[in-house]
Amino acid sequence: MSSIPSSPDSGSAPRLLEQVRGRIRFLHYSLRTEQAYLDWIKRFIRHFGKRHPRDMGAAEVSEFLTHLAVAGQVAASTQNQAKSALLFLYREVLDVELPWLDDVESAKAPRRLPVVLSRAEVAALLARLDGTSALVCRMLYGTGLRIMECLRLRVKDVDFERGEILVRDGKSFKDRVTMLPASIAPALREQLARVAELHRQDLAAGHGAVWLPYALERKYPNAAREWTWQYIFPSANLSVDPRAEVVRRHHVSDQAVQRALKLAVRAAGIAKPATPHTLRHSFATHLLEAGYDIRTVQELLGHSDVSTTMIYTHVLNKGGRGVRSPLDGLDGKVLREPAAEYRIAA
């Protein structure tokens, strides 16, 4: 099986995918972004018989994106992710400024209202969860965190005295502060006690390290094993870091939480396509229903633009934009069938 070609300029140059991987890691992109971009670049190259991207241009990129939409029938978000991967390849790796790439039409994602649960549905859902997934989902609804923001929390990020949680490197690499619900604090303290015992066991076995961002591990060699840097929701098993190839304890998988929530939704008889992100939507909507101003909700959610937060005001409207139907104003009067002489002929 032949591999993806290396640079056509030099036989000793790093292979193209190695260059892409190195650039992604230099810019501190997440592992998921790395995997997604590499996959799209490989698909792009293979689609054109493994030609090198330097030998291709606007026509090939446009054809590939059109192929995804027409033949592949992918969602708009999927097509846009593929475009982002190719944009990264040409600009960041090949150092080729291609103005035509900005002109390639992006698929328009449909503007949909978020799925929101009622307070009763949230209570029924949370009652059917247990263990770590229960605590994570309570955190999602109680703080408005995204699921990966929650799972990546470290011990140092929770301040029980101030009742707040510091979110590091959220979406778009932004930090923000959100509240720590008083009702969840006791359970969170118990979770930290269990994590502390697990950490002691790991240290005794010669492990106890976690992944650190931005070369902090080189700057502070012992920090990875310090208590303050440990994940609040660690995985039950040790694993090999795919980048550093060392044994570490990572955080709980988001897929495990998603599976647990899906079962709970089914058990609660909720007829909505609820996911962990639905709890974030419910957090925002219920705050607005309680009378909190939209700017406060915007800050808690970490939205750059208030227009993003405004979508929850549409969810607040009941029926047709909050307008009461005239049918509901009949006050229980009996609706009788019109007399025969006033009926419209078929």
Catalytic sites, residue numbers = 146, 171, 277, 280, 303, 312
Question: Rounded mean pLDDT of the chain?
Answer: 84
CA–CA distances in Å: residue 315 to residues 115, 217, 254: 9, 45, 26
What is d(CA 199, CA 248) in angstroms, rounded to the nearest whole number? 11
pLDDT more than 70, % of the chain: 82
Mean pLDDT of 89-105: 75
Q: Which helix (H) or strand (E) holds 268?
A: helix 254-268
Mean pLDDT of 339-345: 51
Could you tell me where the beta strands, DSSP code E, fall in 23-147? none
pLDDT of 202-220, one tens digit each?
A: 999 999 989 887 667 777 7
Position 39 scores a pLDDT of 95
pTM of this prediction exceeds 0.85: no
pLDDT tops 80 at residue 134: yes
DSSP assigned state of 326: G
- How long a stretch of residues is the chain? 346
Spacing of C-alpha 96 from chain mean position: 30
For each of the domains in the chain, give its residue range(s) and CATH number, in order of start. Answer: 16-103 (1.10.150.130), 111-321 (1.10.443.10)
Give every CB contact of residue 83 below 8 A, 6+ residues apart in sequence: 61, 65, 101, 104, 106
pLDDT of 220-232, one tens digit each?
A: 778 889 999 999 9
Q: Which tokens sit at 104?
A: 């390639």
